[in-house]
Structure 1
Amino acid sequence: MSSSVPRKRVRKSPDARRAEIVEAATQVALAEGLECVTLRRIADELAVRPGLISHYFPSVEDLVAEAFGSAASAELDRLVPDGVGNGSGAGTVAGAEPPTRRLARFLAHTTGDAYDAISRLWINARHLSRYRPVLRDRVAEQEAAWRGRLEGLIREGVERGEFRTPDPYVTTIQILVVLDGLGAHANTDTTGRPAAVARMAVTTAEQGLGLPPGALEPDLNLPGGPGTDREPPAAPSPATPA
């Protein structure tokens, strides 16, 4: 016998509702592009009225920027967690892992097929930011965050004697420029790309950090893989060319 007691609606807190809206917008942006993030579309995704979305985001431009920022920062947090690789040495559990290994993991992911969705989102955001000031500011904010985290990781490697570079900031920019160049082709077929081209970011990092070829191979980071038990490469002597 079914109960006649009416089911009580659970009201979400403002923070929970806002987070739900941002998550839905982020998923739409990753799957279909930032142009598809509209107040009505997100309302349909959540089965609510568009007025509820506009209550939290009166301007769709704010929601578009938030969707991009959420996706980009989540990816950065996964690859280079905040507080790790900030030049402060081993301050956390993750910080005990050698910078060489963490950089290898970063490069393996950012040059692999799994990164294509984020690459497409960056392409999309940079294009639209020409016409959307709010998004332009968010893109600049994320670019600074990615530069800062990667530079921090490189500086930590220098402090630990694993990397050698006269200017960690310049080396960071060089690596990111190559990654951006490779990522620009995320919308096209790259199956015929030569291995040397696919490896350009790794080669750039190894040369810029005074590491021997192969030091940043991705198998350093595969659980149980052949590189799991390797020691990080010894720092090159001053006489070794960078």
Structure 2
Amino acid sequence: MTPGWRGTGHRSMRWLFGGGRFGGWLSGVGFALVASLLLAGCTPTGIAIGAGARVATAAAEERGLRGSAEDTWVTTEINRRWFEFDHRLPLQATVTVRDGVALLTGVVDTADLRLAAVRLAWSEEAIHRVINELRVAGQDSRTQGDTADAGRDLWIAKTLEARLLFDGEILSINYAVDVADRVVYLMGTAQSAAERDRVIAHARDIAHVRRVVSYVGIKGAPGD
């Protein structure tokens, strides 16, 4: 993180978004387009395809373009706060944000880092709930992971994402998947209880999965 982030760079981002967090000309559509320009490559074709795909995907989600853009912004801000506090935090912990709910997963070196990660996540004004699934290294045998474990977690996540994508009875874009130490964490909004249960069943059916933790809400349900 460069020293200029909180100076010129941070002021530039505030100019793009206007006086409020998303009060300027860069609405959800604009945010998605700018992100696409950064991620899709420099060729006109790559920019057009990348921007179009990301905007279309965000628009189709239950949270919509604006919600998707704000979640992305808040995720970036939390990671920035973590890095400024201790550069190890964003390397050891993962934050997934959907609709103002932050899910924290991973294994951190100390209890102080775990507490700091939670405190800094709460410091974002858009966050109204923090789900703390962080563990401290050495406190139980499950935290003694290695590169093979990390590779297995990635394989589980990608396998589940593929299953959800190709299941015609599931709107996969409404779900976020995170895997830590073979525990699958699900966030998102299901169209029905049946769809939610189908997603959970897919996760449980994947080899090496120890446990599935669902924070999936149901569309139209109280509190969703």
TM-score relative to the length of structure 2: 0.28
Greater fraction helix: 1
Greater fraction strand: 2
> Of the two, which has the highest radius of gyration?
1
